[in-house]
Each structure stands twice: as C-alpha cells, then as structure tokens.
Amino acid sequence: MINPFFKNTGPHNINFLLKHINLKNDNLPDDKITDIKDLNSSKKSEITFLHSKKYTDLAKKTKASYCLTSENLQLFLPNNCKAIITDKVLLHTAQITKIFYPDSITDDYDNTVKDIAETELKDKIKYGKNVLIGENVKIGANCLIGHNSIIEKNVKIGDNCSIGSNVIIRNSLIKNNVHILDGCVIGKKGFGFFPNKDNNFRYPQIGIVIIEDNVEIGCGSTIDRGSLSNTIIGKNTYLDNQIHIAHNVKIGENCIIAGQVGFAGSSTLGNNVMIGGQAGISGHLKIGNNVQIGGGSGVIKNIPDNSKVMGYPAKDLKNFIRENKW
C-alpha cells in the first residue's frame, strides 16, 4: 500500500544512502532502493533492519534486498538480503528513514483544513460547531462529529462512526461502526528518540493508525501512529478512558482494556485479552490470546495464551494471591 500521508523521495542509490549516514561499504553495486520498511513488509529493492534476536524468525523470511544489522545477527538473513554491518542499527535506520521521508519528523498542523461547512461533507454527516476538515478526507454514511474536532488530510472514516468533541485525527484509516469519544488524539507521532548529550535524535514515524470495525475508544485516549509498521486496533475492541497506545502496538480482536493502561512501543496483544486499570505493558512484548492482566500490574516479559497475571512484575495470579494474603 502506498502511504497516503508521507511522501517518499526515493528511489535512492544504496551507496548514496550509506554515504549520507557516514557508513562505508565498498563492495556494494549501484542498486536503487525504493523504500525502507520493517522485516515483515519489505520487498525486493527495499532496505530493512534487524537489531534484536527477538526478530530473527522474521529476518529469515524477509524479502528485502538490504538489511542494516550487526555482525552477530547477519547470520539470520536469507541469501537474497545483503547485510550492511553497523553497531548503530537503530540510529542508522532512523537516518535513512529521514532521507526517504523528510516530512515525518515534525507534526505541524494541517494547513489544508477548512470549516466543514465549506466542504462537500456538509450535507452528508451531522456535525457540531468549529469542525475542521482537511483535503481528501473521506467519511462514510451516518457519521457524526462533535464540536471543535479536526480531521486532517487523507484520513478515511467508514460508515456509522461517531467522533466526539475536541478530537484530533491524522494519519489514520478508521473502518465501520467506530466510536471515538471526547478529547482523543489519534495518529500523532510516537515517542521515539536516540539520546545524545548534544542533540537527541528523533526517530521518524512513517506508519499509520488502523482502527478496525466495531471499536470504541474512551475519552482522553491517545494512539500514536507506527514508526515503520502500523499501529492497529482489532475488531470489537473496547478501550476505556485515558489509555495510551504507543507506536507499532498491535491489539487483537475482542479485547477489553480499562482506564489509564499504558502500552510501550511494538508490543502485540492477542485476541480476547482483558487488562485492568493502570496496568503498564513494556515494549516489544507478545501477550497471548485469552490473557487476563490484573489492574496496576507491570508486564515486563511475554505472556503465553490463557494466562492470568497480576503484580509488579506481573506473575501468575495464583502465585500473586498466595504471596499477598492478608
């Protein structure tokens, strides 16, 4: 899928890219690279990255032509993918992403927006006061938008959706029967930095947010767009108020998540997961299907299917109860 929100400046010569990030490799041909993507979605003539053993299974199947990786991890790449060795995989990935998508670093306001009364949508949906709509926004039948909300350019919203008041939506594809309550911010850039004592480097965020059918998102919640992959909320999932979902998080179907839960980047939830209020989920974790996580828990490792956990760090619920008897 062509990204409708960020312009790709490619193709770029592989040696041009490496020169601009001060990375030498004298044995590469003058191949044209069309894009940068994650291991799973990359294709021939694209570049990807591998920075952790957690992703070696994906690395073995990648179709990318080039991969930024370390000396130790290059062994997991298939023959079709040439390794570019670096001890700064994530930093160099971010720098190349910025070359392909220079407008992905900032989140400036959308200067194409206009009052909905000045657009073709004015007679198609119900809306409150001070609603602003960007160019090329598509909204389906039987939708409603509350006061002071902004839907920025290229956003698509399906049928039978309601958007509350004081909501901002950008870089997002929203499907049918979705309800987004007051004060939500959907699709802004995630919190990705590389610390540097002189000047912290922000990681570009070129992914989007995809919200599947029959989802409800509670008041004051924020869902960040993905970095290289997308942030996805699965069908029939209900999010309570003041929930934060970071970049690249994938939430499965039929999940119920209580208020003030926070997800760090790139974690994945299975289907039918229930999470109590104020729980925290660390980054790059896999939470299985049918998992239940007690309120206030801190999840710092993967959780297998059908588990019940609680505590900080989260542990098997029976063990938690046994250790915390009054």
Give CB contacts under 8 A, 24+ apart, made by 258-264. Answer: 258/295, 259/218
Q: How far apart are CA 280 and CA 264, in angstroms?
A: 8
pLDDT in tens, 169-223: 999 999 999 999 999 999 999 888 877 777 788 889 999 999 999 999 999 999 9
CA atoms within 13 Å, Cβ hemisphere of 240:
14
Q: How far apart are CA 316 and CA 321, in angstroms?
A: 9
Name 66's bridge partners: 47, 82
pLDDT on residue 72: 95
In the chain the domains, ranked by start, together with CATH numbers, are 12-104 (3.40.1390.10), 114-323 (2.160.10.10)
- Which range among 20-24, 126-130, 189-193, 322-326 shows the weakest confidence by mean pLDDT? 322-326
Is there a catalytic annotation at residue 51?
Answer: no
Mean pLDDT of 19-32: 85
Residues 252, 235 contacting (CB under 8 angstroms): no
Q: How far apart are CA 16 and CA 201, in angstroms?
A: 21
CA atoms within 13 Å, Cβ hemisphere of 23:
21
Q: Is the dihedral of CA 2, 160, 179, 213 positive or negative?
A: negative
> For residue 238, is pLDDT > 90?
yes
pLDDT on residue 326: 63
Residue 159 corresponds to which tokens in the numbers above? 């049928």
pLDDT on residue 203: 87
> For residue 96, is pLDDT > 80?
yes
pLDDT on residue 202: 85
Mean pLDDT of 221-247: 97
pLDDT on residue 103: 86
Q: Percent of the chain having pLDDT more than 90? A: 86
pLDDT in tens, 262-284: 999 999 999 999 999 999 999 99
pLDDT on residue 233: 98
Q: Which entry of 51, 179, 247, 284 is annotated as an active-site residue?
A: 247
Through-space distance between the first and last CA atoms of the chain, rounded to whole angstroms: 56
Q: Is the dihedral of CA 113, 115, 118, 122 positive or negative?
A: positive
Q: Which band of pLDDT confidence, cut at 50, 70 and 90, is reported for residue 106?
A: confident
Higher pLDDT, 154 or 320: 154
